[in-house]
């Protein structure tokens, strides 16, 4: 048993919010949450690898981040649902930077036919990316960290839809595949956190509510009408709000957190 730190022994807060000298990998790096969180991690001092099948867009994001924050930033192609592709991604990041300290397993999709009548093909695609993808990225990254003595931080993107079934809006119905995949992402987070805790590797997840992100880029504005009616704050979340949470979980400011799921939903799940 220890004793409480005295005031003189407390670590300055600003010293906890630094990633200087570290390397961060962000999947889904072409999307809103991915690019915004990568920018936060870079602002905190980390060199960045952005992974996405839309590698041209990820490269544009990497170029902007490198210029703005003075870090090294690259873009890599990866299919997170393919174990060989994920392993190649980890190997490429390590070959390029020499290490890997922070991983944000953020790649995710939604299906337009996501109802109880969803096609098997759509169901499987959602599961491959949102569920299997999280598992593979977590597993391969944590295995590398363990083998190389890195006490890293891994963050997953789940969703408030991993806690509740979203209320339908207009012609929309409940999103069965998306919700199931996000429930699973929270379970993967907790199981992986326990599996790697003795190696000093922390694994947590975030559960965003309605955020203006890449998932909404192709949606007509009329489809978004009424979405925030059940949000106590009455609005969508923003990318800088979610990026700040990712930065916190990546840093030593969250050093006593593992297996945690942090909901950021404007109060939606209060109901």
Domains of the chain: 20-270 (3.40.50.720)
pLDDT digits (tens, 9 = 90+) for 154-175: 999 999 999 999 887 666 667 9
For 161-213, give the DSSP string: GGTSPPPP-TT----HHHHHHHHHHHHHHHHHHHHHGGGT-EEEEEEE-SB-S
Q: Write down the pLDDT at residue 95.
A: 98
Just list the catalytic residues: 159, 178, 182
Q: Write down the pLDDT at residue 98.
A: 98
pLDDT digits (tens, 9 = 90+) for 195-221: 999 999 999 999 999 998 766 666 666
pLDDT digits (tens, 9 = 90+) for 91-119: 999 999 999 999 999 999 999 899 999 99
What average pLDDT does this structure show over 240-248?
97
3-state class (DSSP) for residue 218: coil
């Amino acid at each position: 048993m220890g004793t409480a730190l005295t005031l003189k022994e407390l670590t300055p807060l600003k010293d906890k919010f630094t990633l200087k000298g570290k390397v961060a990998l962000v999947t889904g790096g072409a999307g809103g949450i991915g690019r915004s969180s990568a920018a936060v991690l870079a602002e905190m001092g980390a060199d960045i690898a952005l992974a996405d099948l839309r590698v041209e867009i990820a490269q544009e994001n990497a170029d902007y981040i490198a210029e703005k924050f003075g870090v090294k930033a690259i873009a890599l192609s990866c299919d997170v649902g393919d174990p060989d592709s994920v392993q190649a991604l980890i190997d490429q990041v390590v070959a390029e930077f020499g290490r890997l300290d922070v991983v944000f397993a953020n790649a995710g999709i939604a299906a337009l036919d996501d109802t109880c009548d969803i096609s098997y093909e759509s169901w499987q695609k959602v599961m491959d990316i949102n569920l299997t993808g999280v598992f593979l990225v977590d597993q391969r990254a944590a295995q590398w960290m363990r083998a190389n003595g890195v006490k890293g931080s891994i963050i997953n993107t789940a969703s408030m839809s991993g806690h509740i079934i979203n209320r339908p809006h207009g012609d929309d119905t409940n999103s069965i595949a998306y919700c199931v995949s996000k429930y699973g992402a929270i379970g993967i987070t907790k199981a992986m956190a326990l599996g790697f805790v003795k190696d000093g590797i922390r694994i947590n997840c975030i559960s965003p509510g309605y955020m203006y992100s890449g998932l909404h880029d192709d949606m007509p504005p009329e489809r978004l009408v009424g979405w925030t009616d059940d949000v106590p704050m009455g609005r969508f979340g923003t990318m800088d709000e979610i990026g700040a949470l990712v930065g916190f979980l990546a840093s030593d400011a969250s050093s006593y957190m593992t297996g945690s799921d942090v909901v950021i939903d404007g109060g939606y799940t209060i109901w």
